Amino acid sequence: MHKVVDLELGVDILAANKRIAEENARLLDKNGIRSFDFVGSIGSGKTLIIEAIIEELKKRPKGGPKVACIAGDVAGDDDYRRFKKHKVIAENLNTDKECHLDAHLVSHALEHLELKKIDVLFIENVGNLVCPTDFPLGVNKRVLVISVTEGDDMVRKHPVIFRLSDIIVINKVDLAKIMEVDPKGLMRDAKKVRPDAEIFLTDARHGKGIKDLMKAMGL
């Protein structure tokens, strides 16, 4: 009996998240905002990649598109403060005990943003390769970031999140030789799981691969 109840509860939660995600998507679309959910492990380089993209956008005429960031973490505001240093609109979102953002939390964050003043929204999810999988947020694309420092078996151990991501980024390729990890092997594994995904090799700390990634994101 308990298993049946738990199953029904799980289905209800996912269904409710899907409904709210669709509402988020309509709201963002209505305001002409391109939006991205960045997922990946802690330390994969999600924050740094978003920062690098922000700086590239600021080089464009009239300062480029207006950017906003939602920083999702279990606790603290470290990433939020990093985004604020780039002079963009930012919102901090702590989940307390939850290991992922969900559409409901994001909907509340959107309520605090002046959407008419935003062209591009980056949502940095909680660092995790499992929990965010079943919780779409209502964005245009999910960007998955892993790094060579996490080992050569990342795709094989976490195939679902790769399957459900639109763009896959393999970061910190400058450390590949030191870590004895072949980025091309990670790419092959990712292609097996998600054949149509766009995959990019980046060294965010030195700006390598960022412009190609931005093109795939439509930025």
Q: What is the pLDDT of residue 95?
A: 93
Q: By percentage, how much of the chain surpasses pLDDT 70?
A: 95
CA distance 41 to 189: 18
CB 91 within 8 A of CB 109: yes
Given 3.30.1960.10, 3.40.50.720, 3.40.1010.10, 3.40.50.300, which CATH number is that of 2-216? 3.40.50.300
Per-residue pLDDT of 22-66, as tens digits, reads: 999 999 999 999 999 999 999 999 999 999 999 999 999 988 999
Cβ(25)–Cβ(104) under 8 Å? no
Q: Any idea which residue has 């930025």 for tokens?
A: 219
Strands 89-94 and 167-171: unpaired
If you search the block for the tokens 């799980």, which residue do you land on? 10
Measured distance CA(14)–CA(204) in Å, rounded: 34
pTM over 0.85: yes
Task: Spell out the domain ranges in the chain.
Answer: 2-216
Q: Give the chain's mean pLDDT.
A: 93
For 140-153, the pLDDT digits (tens) are 999 999 999 999 99
